[in-house]
Amino acid sequence: MGSHISLTRMDDMKITRDYCPDCKKRSYFFNFYQEWYGWHSTCLRCGRQYADGEWIHLEFSRFARKQNIESARRCWRERQDEIKPQYRQ
């Protein structure tokens, strides 16, 4: 038997501005939606990550928050053209 790796794709991406409970300030969030997993968010000020509104545990490593911010920004830049923006009225 072979191995099977299943990766879900990002169905939607957006940048929002909201209150971050971790850094206690209004911050920009990078949000992406994956089928089966829901919304994932990263605060672009402090690097805290959320999955469907719940905190995700930080890695026990130096600069984990900085790496989260850099990863979110890189993901936004790389995939910005793939997903068409949806304008809400």
pLDDT at 34: 84
pLDDT at 2: 66
Q: What is the largest CA-CA distance in the chain?
A: 51
- The tokens of 15 are what? 């940048």
pLDDT at 73: 92
The radius of gyration computed from the CA coordinates of the chain, to the nearest angstrom, equals 14
pLDDT at 6: 59
Q: For the chain, which residues score pLDDT lower than 70?
A: 1-8, 82-89
